[in-house]
Amino acid sequence: MPPTLARLATFATRPLRRLGGLARRHPVRAALALPALVLLYLLVLIPFTPGIGDLRKAKSEQPSVLLASDGSVLAEYRRSNRRWVTLDKISPN
Protein backbone atom coordinates (compact mmCIF):
# COMPACT_ATOMS: atom_id res chain seq x y z
CA MET A 1 0.00 0.00 0.00
CA PRO A 2 1.42 3.42 -0.90
CA PRO A 3 2.41 5.55 2.12
CA THR A 4 -0.10 8.27 1.28
CA LEU A 5 -2.94 5.78 1.11
CA ALA A 6 -1.83 4.18 4.39
CA ARG A 7 -1.84 7.57 6.12
CA LEU A 8 -5.29 8.30 4.71
CA ALA A 9 -6.61 4.93 5.93
CA THR A 10 -5.20 5.59 9.40
CA PHE A 11 -6.72 9.06 9.41
CA ALA A 12 -10.13 7.67 8.41
CA THR A 13 -10.21 4.70 10.81
CA ARG A 14 -8.92 6.46 13.94
CA PRO A 15 -12.25 8.23 14.76
CA LEU A 16 -14.19 5.01 14.16
CA ARG A 17 -11.97 3.08 16.56
CA ARG A 18 -12.37 5.82 19.14
CA LEU A 19 -16.17 5.65 18.81
CA GLY A 20 -16.02 1.87 19.15
CA GLY A 21 -14.05 2.22 22.37
CA LEU A 22 -16.56 4.71 23.75
CA ALA A 23 -19.42 2.36 22.86
CA ARG A 24 -17.74 -0.51 24.72
CA ARG A 25 -17.14 1.63 27.81
CA HIS A 26 -20.66 3.16 27.82
CA PRO A 27 -23.07 0.74 26.09
CA VAL A 28 -26.22 2.41 27.45
CA ARG A 29 -25.17 5.80 26.14
CA ALA A 30 -24.30 4.25 22.79
CA ALA A 31 -27.71 2.57 22.61
CA LEU A 32 -29.49 5.84 23.41
CA ALA A 33 -27.39 7.90 21.00
CA LEU A 34 -28.95 6.48 17.82
CA PRO A 35 -32.60 7.26 18.72
CA ALA A 36 -31.50 10.68 19.95
CA LEU A 37 -29.79 11.40 16.63
CA VAL A 38 -32.87 10.24 14.68
CA LEU A 39 -35.10 12.48 16.81
CA LEU A 40 -32.76 15.43 16.29
CA TYR A 41 -32.80 14.82 12.52
CA LEU A 42 -36.61 14.77 12.47
CA LEU A 43 -36.81 17.97 14.51
CA VAL A 44 -34.49 19.68 12.04
CA LEU A 45 -36.72 18.60 9.13
CA ILE A 46 -39.99 19.93 10.61
CA PRO A 47 -39.57 23.59 9.50
CA PHE A 48 -38.90 22.50 5.92
CA THR A 49 -41.97 20.28 5.45
CA PRO A 50 -45.02 21.77 3.70
CA GLY A 51 -48.33 21.98 5.53
CA ILE A 52 -51.45 20.02 4.58
CA GLY A 53 -53.04 23.14 3.09
CA ASP A 54 -50.00 23.70 0.88
CA LEU A 55 -50.19 20.13 -0.40
CA ARG A 56 -53.89 20.41 -1.19
CA LYS A 57 -53.38 23.72 -2.99
CA ALA A 58 -50.54 22.33 -5.09
CA LYS A 59 -52.59 19.28 -5.96
CA SER A 60 -55.62 21.25 -7.13
CA GLU A 61 -53.85 24.11 -8.94
CA GLN A 62 -51.71 22.13 -11.36
CA PRO A 63 -53.66 20.87 -14.40
CA SER A 64 -52.78 17.85 -16.49
CA VAL A 65 -51.45 18.86 -19.89
CA LEU A 66 -51.89 16.88 -23.11
CA LEU A 67 -48.92 17.43 -25.42
CA ALA A 68 -48.57 16.69 -29.14
CA SER A 69 -45.52 14.89 -30.52
CA ASP A 70 -43.94 18.25 -31.42
CA GLY A 71 -44.34 19.53 -27.84
CA SER A 72 -47.28 21.87 -28.42
CA VAL A 73 -50.11 21.90 -25.88
CA LEU A 74 -53.28 20.24 -27.18
CA ALA A 75 -55.42 20.51 -24.04
CA GLU A 76 -55.31 21.20 -20.32
CA TYR A 77 -57.39 19.13 -17.95
CA ARG A 78 -58.31 20.59 -14.61
CA ARG A 79 -60.20 18.88 -11.81
CA SER A 80 -63.55 20.25 -12.99
CA ASN A 81 -63.46 18.60 -16.44
CA ARG A 82 -62.26 15.14 -15.43
CA ARG A 83 -64.45 12.10 -15.39
CA TRP A 84 -63.71 8.72 -13.85
CA VAL A 85 -63.91 5.83 -16.32
CA THR A 86 -63.06 2.15 -16.15
CA LEU A 87 -59.81 0.93 -17.65
CA ASP A 88 -61.50 -0.87 -20.57
CA LYS A 89 -63.00 2.46 -21.78
CA ILE A 90 -59.55 4.04 -22.21
CA SER A 91 -58.08 3.89 -25.70
CA PRO A 92 -54.89 1.80 -26.02
CA ASN A 93 -53.53 4.39 -28.45
For residue 90, count other CB atoms closer than 10 A to its CB.
Answer: 8
The pLDDT value given to residue 82: 65
Separation CA 75–CA 66 (nearest Å):
5
> Does an H or E element contain 30, and which?
helix 27-45
Q: What is the pTM of this model?
A: 0.42
- Cα torsion 29, 31, 32, 38 to 10°: value is 130
pLDDT digits (tens, 9 = 90+) for 7-47: 888 888 888 788 888 788 888 888 888 899 999 999 999 99
